[in-house]
A and B are shown apart, each in its own frame.
Chain A
């Protein structure tokens, strides 16, 4: 089945630690995206990539980093510089001129 997988589903982090969220797609889409979701705030764009080896900052990129070494993969690292990382993180991909497809999400909690 074609789709987007995110792992892990739940992630706990101690303050000061970096953590990496995985996102993999087998839809053959060039474009991939990371969003952060907080209650009552909708989805806010962290980073996006329109092609392998290239990515752009979104609206709330501070404290996050990404890489795009393969078409299928777009991992997101939440660094210790992110002051309030507890949130639900959603990865998406998109074909040209179409809608975004979303993964199931990763819920990150800082202890």
Chain B
């Protein structure tokens, strides 16, 4: 079984500052990793995914994440945030085969301050 820990429930940051949202996972098998964003009262939108290949993954809206197998981490970063990045961010993991369900962390609320 897999599990995900998002280490910060809330992250406040000033506009145009860099941000890192932390995610650690545990799994006994090889995994796929994902970051999703959720705006109020909406579904989840995929930001980026790691399936295989390069450990540095670039996504939409200027976000990127790095898969670190030895530290079992998949932290999300953005060099300069905007007010519009204010949202809930979820890290998720699944085993790397088939259509097994994703397991989600509890989310990190990113608040960008003007």
Q: Which residues of A contact B (CB under 8 A)?
A: 4, 6, 30-31, 33, 35, 40-43, 45, 48, 50, 58, 88, 90, 92, 94, 96-105, 107
Contact = CB atoms under 8 A, between A and B. Distances in A.
Interface residues of chain B: helix, strand, loop or mixed (majority): loop
Interface of B: 9, 32, 34, 36, 41-46, 49, 51, 90, 92, 96-99, 101-107
B56 to A, nearest CB: 18
Contacts of A96: 98-99
Contacts, number: 59
Contact of B46 (A6, A45, A99): A99
A41 B6 CA distance: 11
Contacts of A100: 34, 44, 46, 92, 102
A40 B43 contact: no
A42 B98 contact: no
Nearest to B42: A104
B72 to A, nearest CB: 18
